[in-house]
Structure 1
């Protein structure tokens, strides 16, 4: 006679693979959780706002954030109900993604690392250099292996972006060592 041990993490009659299957079929619940958290954040921020302006009429500066927060909570609950009843979002007609395939975590982690690296380096190195590293790293993470051409294109894109934002649009970006040259 064999006995099985049941734990809260593994309910009776439910194996690990069936739980993963259920989570994969209901993966849109992650969007519900994100919307719920965002709604709570917006409502908390709106309700704790310190407003010094004299309010004229029934609509004040808290009204729109409160309405948006409530809307996010309602959408999160309605979407969760739909997903739990078996609803699924339809793929776009032009999508060529096979949802049964696992995620490419190597690419996701490379892109996240490149983005975080650029965010850390933008202040000491300036936007032109950090932006070039961002563009080049993103191209590499997404599969481009033209090591002679990609850095030049990345540097050009970064410099053009810097000049357009800094000089033409008046949006100051950190120049780093190139400050004053451009």
Structure 2
């Protein structure tokens, strides 16, 4: 008479391992958060001391807190996933999960952003920013050819003035460097 013995869990067939990984796919996000936390902490703790410290908190404080928070969230999420927690599926009423992604729109937006990156050093932020805002609006479906460029120019100029003049973050002005 033969007795059946239970196979050890580490001797699962490949289908069983794939099934377990599929059921615990959130562990990939946990690993990504842990890697990001380690990178942020490593960068914060190896930061040069040539930064000027003003007050009791140095430049390493915020990156250290962010790195620790990333590691803490990764650990808590891992524990939750291993205990059986699962992420909720999207249930928004305006989202059709069966509709495929519109890669044409995504690629056109990527082209607008790349165009901005190329032009910003040549024509300056006010012009490249206006082209960025107008291009993004056009790609996302707005076709008003009189209103959209005016709003894009106003947004770009306002952003330039706020960052360059009020916040002291220098942006390339291009031909408008002396005007604004």
Query: TM-score, normalised to structure 1's length?
Result: 0.65
Distance 1:100 1:171 in 2: 44
Q: Secondary structure at the match of 1:177?
A: helix
| Equivalent in 106, 118, 121 of residue 119 of structure 2 | 121
- Report SS of the residue matched to 1:110: helix
2:72 to 71, 74, 86: 74
Aligned to 1:104: 102
Match of 1:8 in 2: none
1:97–1:153 Cα change, 3 Å: same
Alignment deviations for residues 47-106 of structure 1 (CA, whole Å, 9 cap, x no partner): 3234479xxxxx9765664443233123123324434524114758x7632344443333
152, 155, 161: which one aligns with 1:154: 152
Q: 1:46 to 1:145 in 2, by over 3 A?
A: same
Matching residue within 33, 36, 51 for 2:34: 36
* Whole-Å separation in 2 of the counterparts to 1:150 and 1:52: 45
Offset of residue 174 of structure 1: 1.3
The answer for unaligned runs of 5 or more in structure 2 is: 1-12, 52-56
Range that drifts further, 110-119 or 126-135: 110-119
Q: Deviations over 1:141-170 (max 9, x none)?
A: 212223343223212221232234334444
Shift of 1:139: 0.6
Gaps of 5+ in 1: 1-10, 54-58
Aligned residues: 159
- For 2:156 and 2:50, locate their aligned partners in 1 and report how far apart those are by CA, in whole Å: 42
Give the secondary-structure state (helix, strand or coil) at the position aligned to 1:145. Answer: coil
Q: Which structure has the greater CA radius of gyration?
A: 2
What are the equivalent positions in structure 2 for 1:15-54 lying under 5 Å apart?
22=22, 26=25, 28-29=26-27, 31-51=29-49
TM-score in terms of structure 2 length: 0.66
